[in-house]
Amino acid sequence: MLNVDPDTKTFIPLRSYLTDPNRAGPGYGLQYSTAPTIQPRGHLNSQDGFDLEVIDSLRREAINVREPHVSGLKKIAAYAAQLVWMGGKFPIDIGADFTWFPALGYNTKRPVSQDNLKFELCNILFNLAALYSQLAVSVNFSSPDGLKSAANYFCLAAGVISHIKDKVVPELRTAPVEDMDIVTLESLQELLLAQGQECFWQKAVMDGYKDSSIAKLAARVSDLYSTAGDWAVQSEAISSEWIHHMAAKHHHFAAAAQYRQACDCLEKRKYGEEVARLRDSMVCVNDALKESRYINKTVLSDLNGLKNKVSEDLKRAEKDNDIIYLNPVPPKSELKTLERAGMVVARVPPDVASPLDHLGDNALFGPPLFAKLVPFAVHLAASIYEERRDRLVSTQLTAPLSALTASVHSTLSALSLPGSLQALEKPLGIPPALLAHAEELRQSDALARLDRSFADTAKLKATDTATFASGREALLAEEAEDAALRARFGTLRWTRPPSREAAPKLHNQIAEIESYLASAAASDDLVRDTYRTLAPLLRILAGPDRALADFVPASRRAAIPPKLEAEASALRTCLNDIARLESRRRRRIEALREAARGDDVHPALLAEAARLERERPDVTIVTAHFEAFFDARLGTRYDSEIAVVAAEAEEQATLLRAVERANADFVRARRGEGGGEREKALQQLEGAWVGYKDVVAKLEMGRTFYNDLSRIVGRFREEAREFGYRRRAEAAELESDLSLPPLSSLTLQNQTQQQQQQQQPSPASHAHSSHSRPQQEEPMPAPVATRNPAPPPQQQQPPLQPGPVAGMWNPEMGIRFGGSPAPATEQKKQAGDWTWLPLREAGEVDGWKMEFELNSPGSGRGNGGITVSCVAGPAAAGGAGGLEGGTGGGPIKHAKCERTNSPNRCSAFLSRGGALCDGPEEGEVKAAEDGEGGGETDRVAEVEDA
């Protein structure tokens, strides 16, 4: 026959367990939220529109699971699996605001909205864990199979919580809501495991296991409840009732473990150790009973039963050991630590750990939705590839080639080429190459084109600067508003993070964009200074031929010596080779840019994405999976071009060395010849032409830079404004909460209304109340899981504040001390108002006394009048003054008042420095028993004095 001990009665379904309440969210349609987001990108077709309806239907079914039934598991898990699949197809900020009400904490009626797929997944999985825990407490605990099922459900619930904590929350990209932060999830996980371990303990007791085995199981239960409580006290969401419940359970099972081990010691004739363990068990039981106010009747009954059992066994054990066995009782420090037998572990359900394995045409959750939709990671990968390709082409191809060309011009200018050669070859008139340059400038209207380019660049710069300034001002204004509110309410009350902590990326962008603008401004000034230096020469070069001929003086020499002519011919050959190299290089740069513009990577990326999905269907595709693809494609297309640049650099170096040797021979052969002024003029015009080409290239680069920057600053401004709007709404909500009247004043006014109603009792109630005793206060029930349907909150009307009631004290009257008389306006009031009387013999006592009288019409103090007294003083005082209890020092914090229709003064207590003085019962003060007439008891009004 099963011996049912008191420590086997802990588990009562829906009472002893703490189940996770469901999170509730409004069931709006995803199709209306996501379609506007993805349709403009060209990703949505007719089939995808149908899939939107399907995912919307799955969401409605998932959030409407309210009852603990196994059919709800599939509904929630199916929607969660599709959300995981959608995470690879859509960006995390899909464009739908998912609204949920917290399940735990003190803000369960305040919705939280986020445009975040992972936030939606967190809430859905939280509900799945809640459903597992509710299934656990709905089984039949009177059978071993029911206990095994309950333990299994608790382990699965803990596994889902573990999955949320380890896999989903780190991917949120935002701070988790308060009831899904790490400490709260850790506490819930340990709590669920504790309850699962408790099921195994209950089954061991039911199956009649040895006491030593049951003690090991109970010790592990105690550890898990202790860990859950330790995490809970760090959480802002777990209520104090739950914390007290966990503490009671921890001490309860510690006592049960020691009791069972004591029974094992008795069986093994270890009588001294039995006494020691029973004493420790009694200590643990008493610690658990300290939480009796907060735990439910079932747990309290179990504790009292266990206490009685332990007390009886302890008396018997001590008596037997003292009289018969005489074994030494070891101290607790010498007792061997109880071994632990852990039977539970957080097990993640397979459909949660690997949800994509359950999606397919013949799979449990059906085919994956949006299967033909290009994954968002592919679009991101295409953007990344294009950025890397353009950067490679610019930094490793076109920029090095342009640098080589600049090196050629610098070398030729240092050698006064080709001006010196042109002055010799054509002593009269303008050289043909210079005439070609002049004609090109005239045909392109070069000077006006440059002026327009400078104006356009300045306009782009001004627009970008204004856009950035607008975003920066919005961000700094929000920071200033937050700082002002923080200074107003204080850092302890204004608990939200500062602006720079809430949006570090945006604040870091300010310095980053400012550095961009400063660098660009320096480059612009350099280009403009270069243009100012070249402008006079360019005007000559672009002007009429007559002005150009006047600028270039003619040479007086008519014949060229044969040796000089030979050296000049050799130099001209080298310069022609350089010119051909430059021409070929310009064509190569244009070809590279054209090839980059025509490099469409999307088909190859789609093929690569399909391969990845086939090879690893359980892995969500992210851009990191395409790194090898990027490297291979860029290497195939551009490695050969990079090698060509290196070869061209070597070729140019060879040609420049040949030019330097030929020019040295030319200079020696030309020594003593005239034509220096003409050579200088031609070289200046040639340098102006080269400088013009450089300015045009840099203006084009500047225009491209500011166009790219416009997208960056535009996005920065929008994000800053959105952040400011969101923070202002959050600040307004927080400010309204902090501006509410103190809860103590509301409580006092409510008690005042109750006191007014009780001041007009019926005659029957007078007779009854004179003999009635305060009833035993009911213990606070232990927290019980409730499933909050949480409908969308309606707009609440502000609560009506009750006004002061005539004849009743209210906080606005204040409390006066000392013997000074009240102001003239307060010394005499109408009947029904308070009259403040001066203190009597206040100097004779170490304390303060207040006395005020309520004058009722037609009644006197000795004939049914109502007198209310509040007295404070040292405990030694008393007697005629009517002083009872109280302490000295410090401002009065609370007041206990009572009323009586006895003519004698009723006594009350005023405590200085904190706690209310205890009355006969919590919240009541007994009427004075001396004097004549029937006494009447009233509820205490707590007064918080500022």
User: What digits encode the pLDDT tens for the residues 694-739?
Assistant: 899 889 889 989 998 998 999 999 999 989 988 898 888 888 878 7
Contact 852, 837 (CB under 8 A): yes
Q: pLDDT tens digits for 814-867?
A: 444 444 444 444 433 333 333 333 333 333 333 333 433 333 333 333 333 333
β-bridge partners, 870: 850
What string of DSSP letters covers 482-493? Answer: HHHHHHHH-TTT
66: left (phi over 0), alpha (psi -120 to 50) or beta: alpha
CA-CA distance, 340 to 219, in Å (whole number)?
A: 6
Tokens of 524: 């612009």
Per-residue pLDDT tens for 322-352? 999 999 999 999 999 999 999 999 999 999 9
Does the CA dihedral 177-178-182-188 come out positive or negative?
negative
Distance of alpha carbon 785 from alpha carbon 884, whole angstroms: 45
781 pLDDT tier (thresholds 50, 70, 90): very low
pLDDT at 68 over 80: yes
Rounded alpha-carbon distances, angstroms, from residue 695 to 40, 54, 447, 689, 706: 40, 59, 11, 10, 16
Residue 299, pLDDT > 60, answer yes
- Domain extents in the chain: 20-180+345-373, 182-342, 375-415+562-654, 417-557+674-740, 742-781+807-946
pLDDT band at 645 (very low <50, low <70, confident <90, very high): very high
Task: Write out the two tokens for 398.
Answer: 């076109």
Q: Which residue has the higher pLDDT, 162 or 14?
A: 162
Contacts of 545 (CB under 8 A, 6+ apart): 430, 435, 438
Cβ-proximal residues to 771 (8 Å cutoff; 6+ apart), any chain: none
In 3-state terms, what secondary structure has residue 589?
A: helix
* Token output for 740: 């509410």
Residue 632 parent element (H or E): helix 627-670
**Rounded Cα distance, 217 and 300, in Å:** 21
**Domain 182-342 = CATH 2.70.98.40:** no
Q: Which of 349-358, 426-435, 486-495 has the highest mean pLDDT?
A: 349-358
In single-letter form, the type of residue at position 915 comes to: A
In this prediction, residue 556 carries a pLDDT of 53
Per CATH, the homologous superfamily of domain 417-557+674-740 is alix/aip1 like domains (1.20.140.50)
- Total-model pTM: 0.56
Cβ atoms of residues 682 and 528 within 8 Å: no
Q: 21: pLDDT confidence band, cut at 50, 70 and 90?
A: low
Q: Tell me the pLDDT tens digit for each residue of 230-245.
A: 999 999 999 899 999 9
787 Cβ contact partners less than 8 Å away, ≥ 6 residues apart: 21, 22, 66, 130, 134
Whose tokens are 């860029």? That residue is 634
Residue 938: pLDDT band (50, 70, 90) is: very low
Give me the amino acid identity at 273: E
Category of 692 on φ-ψ map: left (φ > 0), alpha (ψ -120 to 50) or beta: alpha
3 state SS for 805-865 = CCCCCCHHHCCCCCCCCCCHHHHCCCCCCEEEECCCCHHHCCCCEEEEEECCCCCECCEEC
Residue 429 pLDDT class (50, 70, 90 cuts)? low
Per-residue pLDDT at 138 exceeds 60: yes
Q: How many CA atoms lie within 13 A of 27 on its CB side?
A: 13
The position carrying tokens 């923080």 is: 486
Query: Average pLDDT of 562-574?
Result: 85
> If pLDDT is split at 50, 70 and 90, which confidence band does 693 have?
confident
- CA-CA-CA-CA torsion sign (663, 665, 666, 670): positive
Q: Residue 233 in contact with residue 190, Cβ under 8 Å? A: no
Q: Reply yes or no on whether the pLDDT at 30 is more than 90.
A: no
- Asked which of 414-418, 523-527, 675-679 is least confident by mean pLDDT, the reply is 675-679
Domain 20-180+345-373 and domain 182-342, same fold? Reply is yes
> Model confidence at 470, in pLDDT bands (50, 70, 90)?
very high
Q: Is the pLDDT of residue 516 over 50?
A: yes
Return the axis-axis angle of helices 432-443 and 676-738, rounded to nearest 10°.
Answer: 30
Is-cis flag, bond preceding 418, omega within 30? yes
**CATH superfamily for domain 20-180+345-373:** alix/aip1 like domains (1.25.40.280)
Nearest to 686 by CA among 859, 520, 540, 583: 540
Q: How confident is the model at residue 253 (pLDDT cuts 50, 70, 90)?
A: very high
Q: How many residues does the chain have?
A: 946
Average pLDDT rounded to a whole number, residues 886-905: 38
The three-state secondary structure class of 58 is helix
pLDDT band at residue 629, thresholds of 50, 70 and 90? very high
Structure-block tokens of residue 560? 């060229």
What is the structure's pLDDT at 742? 53
* Average pLDDT for the chain: 76
CA atoms within 13 Å, Cβ hemisphere of 495? 8
What pLDDT is attached to residue 881? 35
User: In this model, does residue 401 exceed pLDDT 70?
Assistant: yes
